[in-house]
Amino acid sequence: MTVTIFLMGLSCHAQDLPDPGRRLTKEELEGTAAPRAAPPPKAGPRDPLACERARTYYQAMCGAPESRRSRSRDCAEAYALYRQSC
């Protein structure tokens, strides 16, 4: 009984606290702030030997297109290396 009265008394002393989130600036509210984007990477000269080695590594790691190895993490990393090299 005393616990119920205590809990009811706590709700009477509740306070309206300010919003804990970050305040937006006027530009952000209006949507006029320019987003900062990184410049796209410049395409440099590619080494054909490195591209061929990455392709061979990709084929060795992934095997056949619908095999279990083709869905592995090693295959995904080999594909990323291949895309970066070629």
pTM: 0.48
Q: What is the pLDDT of residue 15?
A: 63
Q: Tens digits of per-residue pLDDT, 26-41?
A: 777 777 666 677 777 6
Q: What is the pLDDT of residue 5?
A: 62
Share the mean pLDDT of the chain. 78
Q: What is the pLDDT of residue 6?
A: 61
Instruction: Give the separation between CA 77 and CA 61, rounded to whole angstroms.
Output: 9
Q: Is 54 exposed, middle or buried (0-12, 13-18, 19+ CB in 10 A)?
A: buried
DSSP codes, 17-34? PPP-SPPPPHHHHHT-PP
> Is the pLDDT higher at 9 or at 45?
45
